[in-house]
Amino acid sequence: MQLEDLNALAEKHNASRKKICLRTCMSAGCMSSQADVIKKNLETAVKAQGLDADVEVRRVGCMGFCGQGPLVGVDGVKAESMLYEHVTPEDAPAIVGALKGGECKVELSDPHHPFFAKQMKIVRANGGIIDPERIEDYIAVGGYKALHTALTELKPAEVVEQITRSGLRGRGGAGFPAGLKWATVAKSAGAKKYVVCNGDEGDPGAFMDRSVLESDPHLVLEGMALAAYAVGSDQGFIYVRAEYPLAISRLQAAIKQARQLGLLGGAIFESPFNFNVDIRIGAGAFVCGEETALMASVEGKRGTPRPRPPFPAESGLWGCPTLINNVETFANIAPILNRGADWYASIGTEKSKGTKVFALTGKIKNTGLIEVPMGIPLRQIVEEMGGGAPDGGSIKSVQTGGPSGGCIPAQHLDTPVDYESLTKLGSIMGSGGMVVMDDKTNMVEIAKFYMEFCMEESCGKCIPCRAGTVQMHHLLEKILAKEATARDLAKLEELCDMVKHTSLCGLGQTAPNPVMSTLRFFRPEYEALLQPERHAAPASVQPVAT
């Protein structure tokens, strides 16, 4: 496979396209509502109405507007694409009939709605456009050209320099500079090095990585291959949770197709570079999202974290230098190489470059996936793109960063969404979960929910997390039962501080965040549930016998 072959394949595939395309979302969300039947019925209706010469029915990944699914997009009829919402299998004949001028009462989305208009898609540029199960679709939109450029025109150090200059930070939660991590692995001594993609997305309400893997698996594979070339690795692993069967099956198909075309394996693009990728399936342990626990799981051991240093960049899988980034981080790599580090660095803020994908869920009208430039005000996301609270309610708080994040109150909705600003408010960017709460939400209940999650997901290796989360959960239950006093609240705060500063890994270190942030901004809700201190009555003095 050479560039000429890649271009020829793209041209041939584009030439086979038909005039009109019906894009059927077949991500996990829409599939749960019979998207496969919708696609089949659309194909039947196209054939029955004699339109098969001009109309293509295409399987695509997530279109983002998940709360309005199942979705069917229409290209080639009008200047702008159309998007049908809440489609049922019975709607298929009417949608196809509308291509010939027939009446169709299925609801259409407004293409200028803020949900779409304020997005800037880099990671999700192909989502809802290409067929994730056909490598030709990815190649037709420029796929694997960045890898060819790197292997034929750039030295490994030049690839690292591009990522460093772009300002890309790891999208897995901590926001560590990607270029610095890559440079460390590249400089580390070792005959064998590994590249690992962390797809163990376990935050409640988060589905960003799942969507990318289901919608554009080759984008992640190409990013991993570029990383492997940059750091000197020939073996990669994608760690995906078992609860993502559709993502796993599409990854398996993508890896097989890439190997068949020589885009994975040996002598890629007839160069000395070799790279293979294998999938490892996790058993659903939230702690395996932590990199050292993930590596233990890949090695076949129990997924528990270990102290650092040494860091994985120096001693990771089987004691070898290992580069670990999450799905979204790797999905940014090919676009950066294709369009340049300066282009990427021009997006976002001074310290938080590029875009971020968020899963917008909770008490909000428009739920789904969005990709926005770093630094966008939180208010624009939840009130304009998300449409605000349903049923005439008002936004009370937004929880970012999953169980490790904090709750940001409505008075801080003008905060820019970047790493530093969220940290100042006691929250984190995390992997991109964004759960909205309305004015009916009990914030103490929210704190208890997340603490219960962390308590159950603790691996139990270190005492502060194992015992501390249980005690914090017990105190929150006591407060909600209106059996606690101010002394219990003080004990809760003391435990938060202890668990945060003494736990072994990020799970325990960040588990107190929802409690601390709700105490910071919604303390009256806690205090309203407290009972007055009961002082023991003085012991009665018994008369002394004489």
Domain final residue pick, 438, 472, 488: 438
Scanning the structure block, which residue is given the tokens 């233990």? 296
The reply to whether 473 and 422 lie within a common domain is no
**Furthest CA-CA distance within the chain:** 116
Other C-beta atoms closer than 10 Å to the C-beta of 409 total 18
Scanning the structure block, which residue is given the tokens 């829409």? 30
Q: What is the pLDDT of residue 402?
A: 83
Q: What is the pLDDT of residue 542?
A: 54
Q: Does any domain span residue 134?
A: no
Question: How remote is the C-alpha of 324 from its chain's centroid?
Answer: 15
The reply to whether 45 and 24 lie within a common domain is yes
Under DSSP, the state recorded for 539 is P
Question: Domain containing 93 — which CATH number?
Answer: 3.40.30.10
Q: What type of residue sits at position 235? A: Q
Residue 424 tokens, joined: 């100042």
CA angle in degrees (0–180, nearest 5) for 105-109-114 = 160
The reply to whether 203 and 305 lie within a common domain is yes
SS (H, E, C) 198-247: EECCCCCCCCHHHHHHHHCHHHHHHHHHHHHHHHCCCEEEEEEECCCHHH
Domain that includes residue 391, residue range: 355-438
C-alpha 470/C-alpha 473 separation (Å) is 5
Confirm if 251 and 219 have CB atoms less than 8 A apart: no
pTM over 0.85, yes/no: yes
C-alpha 346/C-alpha 353 separation (Å) is 7
The reply to whether 385 and 454 lie within a common domain is no
Confirm if 219 and 348 have CB atoms less than 8 A apart: no
Q: Decide: helix, strand or coil at residue 303.
A: coil
Q: What is the pLDDT of residue 216?
A: 98
Q: Does any domain span residue 9?
A: no
Q: Decide: helix, strand or coil at residue 326.
A: strand
The reply to whether 424 and 455 lie within a common domain is no
Residue 272 tokens, joined: 């000395």
DSSP 385-411: IS-SSSTT--EEEEEESGGGSEEEEGG
Write the CA distances from 397 to 115, 145, 180, 443, 486, integer angstroms. 20, 43, 34, 9, 25
Q: Does any domain span residue 473?
A: yes
Q: What is the pLDDT of residue 538?
A: 53
The reply to whether 522 and 377 lie within a common domain is no
The reply to whether 411 and 448 lie within a common domain is no
Closest listed residue to residue 199, CA positions, set 169, 243, 229, 160: 243
Write the CA distances from 500 to 91, 116, 504, integer angstroms. 53, 38, 9
Question: Domain containing 291 — which CATH number?
Answer: 3.40.50.11540
Q: What does each of the 546 residues of the chain score in pLDDT, given as a tens digit?
A: 788 889 999 999 999 999 999 999 999 999 999 999 999 999 999 999 999 999 999 999 999 999 999 999 999 999 899 999 999 999 999 999 999 999 999 999 998 999 999 999 999 999 999 999 999 999 999 999 999 999 999 999 999 999 999 999 999 877 899 999 999 999 999 889 999 999 998 888 889 999 999 999 999 999 999 999 999 999 999 999 999 999 999 999 999 999 999 999 999 999 999 999 999 999 888 899 999 999 999 999 999 999 989 999 999 999 999 999 999 999 999 999 999 999 999 999 999 999 999 999 999 999 999 999 999 999 999 999 999 999 889 999 999 988 888 999 999 999 999 999 999 998 888 888 899 999 999 999 999 999 999 999 999 999 999 999 999 999 999 999 999 999 999 999 999 999 999 999 999 999 999 999 999 999 999 999 999 877 655 545 455 444
Q: Does any domain span residue 254?
A: yes
Confirm if 245 and 32 have CB atoms less than 8 A apart: no
Q: Does any domain span residue 297?
A: yes
Under DSSP, the state recorded for 380 is I
Domain final residue pick, 407, 438, 469: 438
Scanning the structure block, which residue is given the tokens 């976002």? 348
The reply to whether 286 and 159 lie within a common domain is yes
Q: What is the pLDDT of residues 157-172, one digit of tens each?
A: 999 999 999 999 999 8
Residue 165 tokens, joined: 């200059």
The reply to whether 206 and 315 lie within a common domain is yes
Q: First vs last Cα of the chain: how many Å apart?
A: 110
Q: Tell me the chain's radius of gyration from C-alpha atoms.
A: 26
Number of folded domains in the chain?
4
Q: What is the pLDDT of residue 441?
A: 95
C-alpha 155/C-alpha 50 separation (Å) is 54
Q: Does any domain span residue 122?
A: no
Residue 20 tokens, joined: 């009109």
Other C-beta atoms closer than 10 Å to the C-beta of 309 total 8
Scanning the structure block, which residue is given the tokens 């004990």? 491
Q: What is the pLDDT of residue 116?
A: 94
Alpha helix ranges (H) inside 392-512: 419-424, 443-457, 463-480, 486-502, 506-510
Q: Strands 322-326 and 194-199: what pairing?
A: parallel
Confirm if 384 and 118 have CB atoms less than 8 A apart: yes
Q: Does any domain span residue 536?
A: no
CA angle in degrees (0–180, nearest 5) for 196-200-204 = 155
Under DSSP, the state recorded for 188 is S
Q: Strands 322-326 and 355-362: what pairing?
A: unpaired
Other C-beta atoms closer than 10 Å to the C-beta of 17 total 13
The reply to whether 499 and 417 lie within a common domain is no
Domain final residue pick, 438, 456, 474: 438
Question: Domain containing 514 — which CATH number?
Answer: 1.20.1440.230
Closest listed residue to residue 20, CA positions, set 67, 59, 73, 85: 73
Write the CA distances from 18 to 53, 57, 109, integer angstroms. 7, 10, 24
Confirm if 258 and 225 have CB atoms less than 8 A apart: no
Q: Does any domain span residue 299?
A: yes
Closest listed residue to residue 344, CA positions, set 380, 374, 377: 374
Q: What is the pLDDT of residues 135-157, one digit of tens each?
A: 999 999 999 999 999 999 999 99
Q: Decide: helix, strand or coil at residue 424.
A: helix
Question: Domain containing 422 — which CATH number?
Answer: 3.10.20.600
The reply to whether 44 and 73 lie within a common domain is yes
The reply to whether 298 and 373 lie within a common domain is no
Scanning the structure block, which residue is given the tokens 């500079």? 177
Q: Decide: helix, strand or coil at residue 30.
A: helix
C-alpha 239/C-alpha 354 separation (Å) is 25
